[in-house]
C-alpha cells in the first residue's frame, strides 16, 4: 500500500498570532442569552475583515445567533465557558448556494460558515451548540406523517442547519472545541485541503430524542485531512467520506476524490459507523485509521455500496484498534434515495487493498462483506486480529480475502 505522509505546516497556525482580537461584548454584542445576536456578531466579523483580519473572541456566557459568515483573515476563538448557541428557527439560516448529500444545491446556511477563507480556524475550549432539539422533533414528526401516506421522506425535506460548513478553504484548523447538538451534519468540509481537526469533542444524543443525520465529520471532495485525539459520538456516521452520487457523478466537476486522510488517537462512542465510505462517494483512497479506541455497537469500517453510482474504495488501512464494537467490517448495498434518473448506465464499484491489522476487540461478529452484483472486491487482508465474540463468522462470498494470525475466541479463524 502506498505510504501516506501528512504534513500540516505551522505557518498557518501562527498566521494570526499577532492579529487583533475582537471580543464580541466589547463591540456591541449583548450578553443576554435570550437575545438573538446574529446581526451584531456578523458586524464584528465584517469589521475585523475591513481592518485586515483578526480573531473573533466569544467570552464566557451564552450567545444566541443564527448563521454567521467568516471572511478572509478572520478566525474564531471560544474562551472557557463560552457557548455560541444556534437559533432553533430556520428563518435565521438563509437559503443559499450550497452542497448537500453529494450534490450542489441551494440549501440553508450552517451556524458557522467559511467560504474560501484560507487559514481559517476555530479554537476552544468553548462550545458551539446547535440547539437542535426542535429540528429533531419535527424531523421525526414529519417522517412519520409522510410514512402514513406510503412515501418515504428524504433528509432534505425537513429544513435544518448544519453546525459547521467549510467550503473551498486551505489550511484549516479546528482545535480543542466542543461541537454539540447540530440540527443536521455537525462538521462538513467541502473542497478543502490541509485540514487538522484536533482534540475536539463532537456529540449529539440518541435519547431522549434521537438527533437524526448529525454526522460527526463529513469529508467531501477533500485532500490531506487529519483527525487526531478527538472524541466522537453522534446519531449517524462518526467520520464519513463523501464526494458525489448518481450515475454521472464521476463526470461532474463539483464532485471528486477524497484522499490522504488520517484518523488517529481518537475515541469513538456510539454512532452508525466509525469510519464510513458513502453514502455519497465516487472515489476514496489512501485512508488510515490507527491507534483508536472503540466503545460502541456499530462497525469499525462501513462501506456503503450505491448501485446508482460508480465507486472506487482503495488503499485503506485500519490498524491498532482496541475496545468494543459491533463488527470490524460492514459492507452492504446502500439504496437510500436510489435514483438512476433517465440514465442507462450500469454503475459498479471497485473495492481493493484494504488491510486490518493489530486489532483486539470484543465484537458481535467479524462482520459481513456483500456488495452489488457487478462490484469487484480484491486484496482484503486481516492480520494479527484478536476478536472475542459469540458469533465467530465473517459473511462474504468474496475469495480474495487473506487471514494471517487471526484468532477468534482464541482459535485460528478461516472462512468456511
* CA atoms lying within 13 Å on the CB side of residue 190: 25
Spatial distance between the Cα atoms of 18 and 148, rounded to a whole number of angstroms: 59
C-alpha cell at 150: 406510503
DSSP state of 144: H
pLDDT, position 415: 86
For the chain, the average pLDDT equals 94
Record the pTM: 0.95
Spatial distance between the Cα atoms of 287 and 268, rounded to a whole number of angstroms: 17
Spatial distance between the Cα atoms of 58 and 79, rounded to a whole number of angstroms: 6
pLDDT, position 152: 87
In the chain, which residues have pLDDT < 50?
Answer: 1-18
SS (H, E, C) 40-87: HHHHHHHHHHHCCCEEEEECCEEEEECCEEECCCEEEEECCCEEEEEC
Q: How far is CA 307 from its chain centroid?
A: 22
CATH number of 20-235: 2.160.20.10
Quick one: which H or E segment has residue 310?
none
DSSP H helices in 266-325: none
pLDDT, position 338: 87
Q: In the chain, what are the domain boundaries?
A: 20-235
pLDDT, position 414: 87
What are the tens digits of pLDDT across the range 212-232? 999 999 999 999 999 999 999
Residue found under cell 456578523: 42
Buried (b) or exposed (e) across 319-332, using 16+ Cβ within 10 A?
bbbbbebbbbbbbb
pLDDT, position 224: 98
How far is CA 348 from each of CA 300, 312, 332, 402, rounded to the nearest angstrom? Answer: 24, 9, 13, 23
CB-neighbour burial class of residue 23 (10 A; exposed 0-12, middle 13-18, buried 19+): middle
E strands within 127-236?
Answer: 127-129, 164-167, 170-175, 178-180, 187-190, 193-198, 201-203, 217-220, 223-228, 231-233
pLDDT, position 8: 41
pLDDT, position 302: 98
What are the tens digits of pLDDT across the range 290-299? 999 999 999 9
Q: Which residues pair with 108 in a beta bridge?
A: 95
Q: How far is CA 365 from its chain centroid?
A: 25
Spatial distance between the Cα atoms of 382 and 303, rounded to a whole number of angstroms: 16
Amino acid at each position: 500500500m502506498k505510504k501516506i505522509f501528512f504534513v500540516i505546516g505551522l505557518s498557518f497556525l501562527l498566521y494570526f498570532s499577532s492579529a487583533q482580537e475582537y471580543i464580541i461584548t466589547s463591540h456591541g454584542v449583548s450578553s443576554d442569552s435570550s437575545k438573538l445576536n446574529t446581526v451584531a456578531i456578523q458586524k464584528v466579523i465584517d469589521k475585523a475583515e475591513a481592518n485586515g483580519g483578526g480573531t473573533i473572541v466569544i467570552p464566557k456566557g451564552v450567545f444566541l445567533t443564527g448563521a454567521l459568515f467568516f471572511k478572509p483573515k478572520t478566525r474564531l476563538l471560544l474562551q472557557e465557558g463560552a457557548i455560541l448557541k444556534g437559533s432553533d428557527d430556520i428563518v435565521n439560516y438563509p437559503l443559499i448556494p450550497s452542497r448537500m448529500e453529494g450534490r450542489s444545491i441551494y440549501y440553508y446556511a450552517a451556524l458557522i460558515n467559511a467560504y474560501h477563507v484560507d487559514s481559517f480556524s476555530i479554537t476552544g475550549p468553548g462550545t458551539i451548540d446547535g440547539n437542535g432539539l426542535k429540528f429533531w422533533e419535527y424531523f421525526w414528526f414529519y417522517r412519520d406523517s409522510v410514512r402514513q401516506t406510503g412515501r418515504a421522506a428524504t433528509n432534505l425535506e425537513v429544513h435544518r442547519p448544519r453546525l459547521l460548513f467549510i467550503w473551498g478553504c486551505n489550511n484549516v484548523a479546528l482545535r480543542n472545541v466542543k461541537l454539540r447538538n447540530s440540527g443536521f451534519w455537525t462538521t462538513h468540509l467541502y473542497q478543502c485541503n490541509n485540514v487538522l481537526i484536533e482534540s475536539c469533542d463532537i456529540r449529539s444524543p440518541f435519547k431522549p430524542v434521537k438527533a437524526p443525520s448529525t454526522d460527526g465529520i463529513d469529508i467531501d471532495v477533500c485532500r490531506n485531512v487529519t483527525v487526531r485525539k478527538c472524541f466522537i459520538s453522534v446519531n449517524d456516521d462518526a467520520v464519513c467520506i463523501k464526494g458525489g452520487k448518481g450515475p454521472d457523478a464521476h463526470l461532474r466537476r463539483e464532485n471528486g476524490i477524497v484522499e490522504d486522510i488520517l484518523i488517529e488517537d481518537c475515541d469513538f462512542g456510539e454512532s452508525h459507523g466509525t469510519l464510513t465510505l458513502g453514502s455519497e462517494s465516487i472515489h476514496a483512497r489512501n485512508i488510515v485509521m490507527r491507534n483508536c479506541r472503540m466503545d460502541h455497537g456499530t462497525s469499525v469500517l462501513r462501506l456503503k455500496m450505491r448501485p446508482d453510482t460508480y465507486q472506487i474504495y482503495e488503499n485503506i488501512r485500519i490498524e491498532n484498534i482496541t475496545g468494543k464494537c459491533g463488527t470490524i467490517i460492514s459492507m452492504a448495498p446502500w439504496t437510500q434515495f436510489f435514483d438512476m434518473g433517465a440514465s442507462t448506465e450500469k454503475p459498479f464499484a471497485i473495492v481493493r487493498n484494504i488491510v486490518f491489522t493489530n486489532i483486539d476487540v470484543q465484537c458481535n461478529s467479524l462482520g459481513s462483506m456483500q456488495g452489488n452484483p457487478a462490484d469487484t472486491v480484491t486484496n482484503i487482508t486481516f492480520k494479527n486480529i484478536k476478536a472475542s465474540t459469540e458469533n465467530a463468522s465473517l459473511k462474504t462470498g468474496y475469495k480474495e480475502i487473506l487471514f494471517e494470525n487471526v484468532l477468534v475466541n482464541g482459535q485460528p479463524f478461516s472462512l468456511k
